[in-house]
Amino acid sequence: MAYRHTIDATAYIFEDLRDLLAKATPPRSGDRLAGIAADSAEQMVAARMALADLPLQRFLSEAVIPYETDEVTRLILDSHDAAGFAPIASLTVGGFRDWLLSDAATTETLRSVSRAITPEMAAAVSKLMRNQDLILVARKCEVRSAFRNTIGLRGRMSVRLQPNHPFDDARGITASILDGLLLGSGDACIGINPASDDPAVIGRLLRLLDDIIARLQIPTQGCVLTHVTTTLGLIAQGAPVDLVFQSVAGTEAANRSFGVDLALLGQARDAGLSLGRGTVGNNVMYFETGQGSALSANAHHGVDQQTCEARAYAVARAFDPLLVNSVVGFIGPEYLYDGKEIIRAGLEDHFCGKLLGLPIGIDVCYTNHAEADQDDMDNLLTLLAAAGVTFIMGVPGADDVMLNYQSTSFHDALYLRDLFGLKRAPEFDDWLVRAGLAGADFRLAGPAGQLPDFASRLIA
């Protein structure tokens, strides 16, 4: 179905919903690369005005990727919460924006409609929003998950401790873990991106994490970010797996390029649950996503990259994850060219993820060939904290020496916690006090240069 809007006697025609969403998207290099972006600011405004008048019901009858050919579309439509949709079913996209910004959209109300909102609805309304709108609505959403601690509580922000090493060296990884723990990071998880895909190496890293967490009795979870099939094989061999990781995307074809489908992800979740390693919850999945992943695999079907990203959240939502992480600037400037595009995309991803009911964090990051710098990342980091981000990354010095990109550091988390008065996951905060790393007020304690007894044993 074609859509039309006229501005000053100029008629703008959009051939279908997919084209309308693409033309309404704020400028970004990925959509320009795909040849689907608006040709002018006027065309973009016309698309947004047409989109604002579109009934939300239309997203249930017109799919951006055909139902018959894409299992992600089938997942979205088959799992739609029709009863939950009733309170917002009469709204247009513009009316939905107004409702989200109103006092009627409370934390409890947003939770009740989260499964009734399709990814395309979330993406559409985000295209009508200013950055401040994205921040305000996301902050009203509260999404909790749990494994050995509780993630996503209001007034708290977690950190994934990312101790990557270019040679998967155990001592180097352990030193980075110690660095993070001493600075109060690691409550989201301690997650290693391995340099090797050798199952023997992955198994060794899993045992290293398990040993550190068990010996120090840390209420957190470990994860080695390897392909889900490798993790399944290691589970069968008795490896100590806490979280099952996989990168996912918003189309069946893009997920196939990652070597996964929905059935395999379901098998992986079942395997993780069978281990029974959680203590306060059973959310065992960790997913990573990123705008541009479907386009980079030539699997976007002409859908704009932000809508594709929102569709990836439907995949993640189906498996009740502990963590979902948008690595927003990691894919490169071909998809998000500069700091402005990265900031906008990070706020969009966080908003859409929260609106869809996901415990979403953002890897506030950029590659060294992007037109961005650490000041841009400071801006996004601060805006996300204001928006109630679930977790961020903690990388030693913010410079990942294995993946060769710029992220956020343990000290960045300290900055946010001081500025906004944020605590960590409650179980992790209590452990910091017991370990002598924090005082009764949960602020980090201890004179510089002194290590607690456990730290000395860890690096011995």
Q: What pLDDT is stored for residue 442 in this prediction?
A: 87
Q: Residues 424, 430, 436, 442: is their CA dihedral positive or negative?
A: positive
Q: Please give the helix or strand (H or E) that residue 432 lies within, else none.
A: helix 426-434
Tens of pLDDT, residues 271-316: 999 999 999 999 999 999 999 999 999 999 999 999 999 999 999 9
What per-residue string of b and e applies to 177-196 under the rule 16 or more CB within 10 Å gives b? bbbbbbbbbbbbbbbbbbee
Q: What percent of the residues of the chain are helix, what percent strand, and what percent coil, each to the nearest 5? A: 50, 15, 40
455 pLDDT band (50/70/90 cuts)? low
Q: What pLDDT is stored for residue 454 in this prediction?
A: 62
What letter represents residue 194's amino acid? P
Position 115 pLDDT exceeds 70: yes
Position 413 pLDDT exceeds 70: yes
Question: What's the CA angle centered on 127, arms 131 and 89, to 5 degrees?
Answer: 115
Query: In what side-by-side order are the strands of the sheet with 158-161?
Result: 222-224, 189-192, 158-161, 391-394
Dig out the tokens for 138 from the structure.
């996301």
CA gap 279, 431 in Å, rounded: 15
Are 210 and 222 in contact, with CB atoms under 8 Å apart? yes
Closest to 159 in 3D by CA, of 384, 403, 439, 367: 384
Tens of pLDDT, residues 5-42: 999 889 999 999 999 999 999 999 999 999 999 999 99
pTM of the model: 0.96
180 pLDDT band (50/70/90 cuts)? very high
Position 449 pLDDT exceeds 50: no
Maximal C-alpha separation, the chain:
76
Are 374 and 343 in contact, with CB atoms under 8 Å apart? no
Are 459 and 181 in contact, with CB atoms under 8 Å apart? no
CA gap 322, 286 in Å, rounded: 6
Q: What pLDDT is stored for residue 177 in this prediction?
A: 97
As a whole-number percent, the residues of the chain with pLDDT over 90 amount to 94
Q: What pLDDT is stored for residue 303 in this prediction?
A: 98
In DSSP terms, 371 is beta-bridged to 338
